[in-house]
A and B are shown apart, each in its own frame.
Chain A
Amino acid sequence: MSIDPELRQRFDQEAVVHAEALYRFARRLADSEDQAEDLVQECFEKALRAFHQYKPGTNCKSWLFTILHNCHRMRMRSAQNRREILDPGDDPKFSLLDRLMEHEVSSEQAFFDATPSDEVRQAVGELSEALRSVVLLSDVEGLTYQEIAEVLSVPLGTVRSRLNRARTSLGQKLWKLFRERVPALAR
């Protein structure tokens, strides 16, 4: 049985439009561009074969992210039991706001304007995968907590706490980079 052309057309309209978002997320899970692209292709192949089971009206993007993440997990099976480690430099009580006020950085806008994109990506890259996935799905892809919980198969509370930790940790990393770059502003 091959795929019905009408189904394929719907798939292109509803699913394939998310391909670049999925690639960008995959790039953050995989070690190389090739692996990321391979992961996305595998995800879309599985999604197309299963598309007749996709429930219209639900969020297709989060359905695709779930498949992508599961494919990634299948590949990482041997690493599955690896325990998630907190970045040793992380201070869970770190507050970016307090630092900005202490050091009289005029506004959060001034801080972000002075932070180049590649530093942000570097900071995201330094997060553990568990924290990175949550922050990308939430803040970049705009998925709800419930959707993220399904994509990653973790409880809702875990999504919340990971997101908090991820943001705190990002703030801390960005602050460190900012201080190195603008020592006069932030001592």
Chain B
Amino acid sequence: MQCPSLDDLTPVHLNECERCRKLLALQEGLRAKLRQSEGEVPIPQGFQERLKARLDRVERAPERGRLASSGWIGRAFRSFGLAACLALALLPWLTRNQSSSFRLSEALAEHHSACWALPKNSRCASDWEAWSQAHQNPEVPVPLSASAGLQEQERRICPFGDVGKGPHLLLHDPKGRQASLFVLPLAESQDRLPKRPVAYRIGTDTVALWHGPHWGFALVSPASENETLEWIQPALGSDQPWLYLAAR
């Protein structure tokens, strides 16, 4: 007699087949044993309190990326304890000379990591249509070529912070690593986007900023600054950079 897989067992078969009954009991036994033994993995002391404190900070904190202290710099400082307080006090001075485009890069890198973390079915992914209806002549919805270069995974309206005004394309680079292309309406971000591309190293990512005739762009990539700048060369001067990025 051919037995179905345990997932597809019918009551009739189960009634007739002793082996399947035993297999099922064994599987249930293993399950119970797993639940029991994993449930014994100890939770560190103070875990709930520390989580609550972190969430309280988030609840009070301003939008992500606006303040350097809520970004990767802040995270790095937080792990140093006392030195962190001192460093945080000095932060305004340390970051005094950073241009607004650097801060935008920081916000975009933060957003890139947060956005990739969200499940695909999160609501922001479906806001694309609403956005294109609200904006006149949105010339953006051109899919990336699937054959080479960066590949589009998903397109969503950015749900976080002050980068939320344009679409965000989630991409895979040719090595399968996560990258993002942000499309920002130029009128809303002109002062922060240079015409000639600049690249900043933010944490483990590179953010390259530039703009075309009507749209501003930011590519967040896991590659080095030089690689990233080289990569966007063919896309410069175009309002549809993904075509060029994808053609490589």
Contact = CB atoms under 8 A, between A and B. Distances in A.
> Secondary structure at chain A's binding surface: helix, strand, loop or mixed?
helix
B43 A170 contact: no
A164 B222 CA distance: 35
B27 A167 contact: yes
B119 A67 contact: yes
Contact of B41 (A11, A12, A27, A44): A27
Closest 9 CB pairs between A and B?
A117-B37, A66-B119, A120-B37, A53-B123, A70-B117, A3-B59, A108-B29, A139-B31, A108-B26
A8 B59 contact: yes
Contacts, number: 151
Contact of A19 (B30, B39, B51): B51
B64 to A, nearest CB: 6
Contacts of B61: 2
Interface string B197-221: 0000000100000000000000000
B47 interface: yes
Interface string A1-37: 1110100100110001001100110011000010001
Interface stretch (B17-25, B100-108, B134-142, B235-243): B17-25
A108 B38 contact: no
Interface stretch (B80-88, B90-98, B144-152, B173-181): B173-181
Interface in A33-87: 33, 37, 40-41, 43-46, 48-50, 52-55, 58, 63, 66-67, 70-71, 74, 77, 80-81
Contacts of A8: 55, 59
B114 interface: yes
Contacts of B63: 1
Among B31, B59, B123, B175, the most chain A Cβ lie within 10 Å of the Cβ of B59
A54 to B, nearest CB: 7
B159 interface: yes
A153 interface: yes
Contacts of B44: 33, 37
B123 A55 contact: yes
A109 interface: yes
A16 B4 CA distance: 40
Interface of B: 5, 7, 19, 22-23, 25-27, 29-41, 43-44, 47-48, 50-52, 54-55, 58-64, 113-114, 116-124, 159-160, 175-178, 204, 222
A112 interface: yes
A112 B36 CA distance: 11
Contact of A96 (B26, B160, B177): B26
Contacts of A55: 121, 123
Contacts of A40: 51
Interface in A84-98: 96-97
Contact of B25 (A27, A108, A151): A108
A55 B119 CA distance: 11
B117 A67 contact: yes
> Secondary structure at chain B's binding surface: helix, strand, loop or mixed?
helix
Interface residues of A, number: 64
A49 B64 contact: yes
B118 A70 contact: yes
B62 A1 contact: yes
Given A8-B59, A77-B222, A108-B25, A171 B30 contact: yes
Nearest to B204: A77
Contacts of A41: 50-51, 54
A28 B62 CA distance: 33
Contacts of B176: 80-81
Nearest to A24: B41
B75 to A, nearest CB: 9
A19 B38 contact: no
Given A27-B41, A81-B175, A150-B119, A19 B48 contact: yes
